[in-house]
Amino acid sequence: MKVAVLIKQVPDTTAKVGITSGSVDEGAISKWSISPYDEYALESALSLQSGSGATVVAITLGPERSSKSLIDAAAVGADELLHVVHDGGLGSLSLQKALSEAVTRVGAEVVLVGKQAADTNSGSTGPGVAKMLNYSCVGLVSRIEAGSDGFEATRSTPSGMERVSVKLPCVFAFDKGDVELRRPNVRGIMMAKKKPIEKISLADLGVDNTGEGVSTTSVDYPPEKPEGQRFEGADAAAEVAVKLREEANVI
């Protein structure tokens, strides 16, 4: 069985994101990492590898620097590495098309992906790729287990969790699971260095990056928070509750 894990390289969640003239200053980002939810997808893929002998293919799409995330994946055990090299913007359809072609190319019946990437915060890739491949799709997954003719996945629902069974081929979009992520050791790191990375372009996959009627006009810092507000007396708590909903939009 081949398992594809789609991983995206994003600024580390601890890194400062600087913006100059309407776009993110990528050169100033101090640390790039595999997007956190993708790490859970990778971890699950690796447990399928040790549990049922699956071959794990890590796939990324992004500029040259993203190869590092494939090497990181190899350091913890990914078997094969595929890099779709593309620098610059890409519409959601072209992106999903490229990744689904990449999955077809490696011949994976199971695709694991994070529920959303930490940079764009979208969460469209898993379900979109599934649709393009005509694979089933289970989102918000915290664990999967291979069954006799398919998989069982635990996913969260608005009221709790549920375990669903699904046949292959399937895409699973991962939420955080209560698993411990394996950490690379020296042996893994040394081996990862030797692992070949197959690099291909969008054109190799037959995807052209055409405009899709959606364009980013600028990226800015979020508006400064207003000065702190002070309220006297317990009754003011009612007003604060409303402000938390309406001003801050956090509850």
Partner 1 sequence: MSTTIIAEQQEEGIHPTLPQLVHAASIIGGECTIIIPGGGGESEASEIVGVDRVLKFNGSCFSVFDSQSWSSALKGSVGGTVLLASTPRGRELGASLAADIGISVVQDITSISEGINVERPVFSGKAIEKVTISSPAVITIRPNSLDPAGNGASAPVSTIDSGEDLRMAVEEAITKASEKIDVSEADIIISGGRGLGDISNFEKLEEVASTLGAAVGASRAVVDEWGLPHSMQVGQTGKTVTPSLYIAVGISGAIQHLAGMRSSSYIVAINKDPEAPIFTVADYGIVASWEDALPVLHDSIKALP
Partner 2 sequence: MGYEALDFYDVDSLLTDEERMIRDAVRDWVDESVIPKIENACREGVFLDEWRQDIGSMGILGAPLKGYGCPGLSYTAYGVICRELERGDSGIRSFASVQGSLAMYPIWDFGSEEQKEKYLPGMATGELIGCFGLTEPDYGSNPGDMVTKATEDGDGFVLNGAKMWITNGTIADLAIVWAKLDGVIRGFIVEKGDPGFSAPEMKGKHSLKASVTSELVFQDCRIPKDRILPGVKGLRGPFSCLNNARFGISWGAIGSAQACYDSAKSYALSRIQFDHPIAAYQLVQNKLAWMLREITKGQLLAYHLGKKKDAGEWIPEHISLAKMNNVDIALEIARVSRDIHGANGILDEYPVMRHMANLESVKTYEGTHDIHNLILGRHITGIQAFTKGA
Report the distance separating Cα 94 and Cα 97, nearest Å: 5
Grouping H, G, I as helix, E, B as strand and the rest as coil, residue 197 is strand
Grouping H, G, I as helix, E, B as strand and the rest as coil, residue 36 is helix
Contact between 101 and 207 under an 8 Å Cβ cutoff? The reply is yes
Indicate the residue among 4 and 58 with the shorter CB distance to partner 2: 58
Stretch that binds partner 1, among 42-50, 67-75, 85-93, 188-196 (CB under 8 A): 85-93
* Minimal distance, residue 17 CB to partner 1, in Å: 5
Q: List phi, psi (to 5°) of 55.
A: -95, 125
Q: Using the rule CB under 8 A, which residue among 138, 144, 202, 207 binds partner 1? A: 138
Return the beta strands (E) in 63-192 as ranges. Answer: 80-85, 110-114, 136-147, 150-157, 160-166, 170-174
With CB under 5 to 8 Å by kind, the binding choice for 159 among partner 2, partner 1, none is partner 1
Does position 115 interact with partner 1 (CB under 8 A)? The reply is yes
Contact between 10 and 35 under an 8 Å Cβ cutoff? The reply is yes
Amino acid at 248: A
Indicate the residue among 123 and 188 with the shorter CB distance to partner 1: 123
Binding residues among 156-195 for partner 2 as defined by CB under 8 A: 183-187, 189-190, 192-193
Q: Which x/- pattern, by CB under 8 A, does the window 52-71 give for partner 2?
A: -------------------x
* Minimal distance, residue 86 CB to partner 2, in Å: 22
Question: Which bin fits 189, alpha (ψ -120 to 50), beta or left (φ > 0)?
Answer: alpha
Does position 27 interact with partner 1 (CB under 8 A)? The reply is no
Indicate the residue among 25 and 162 with the shorter CB distance to partner 2: 25
Indicate the residue among 180 and 235 with the shorter CB distance to partner 1: 235
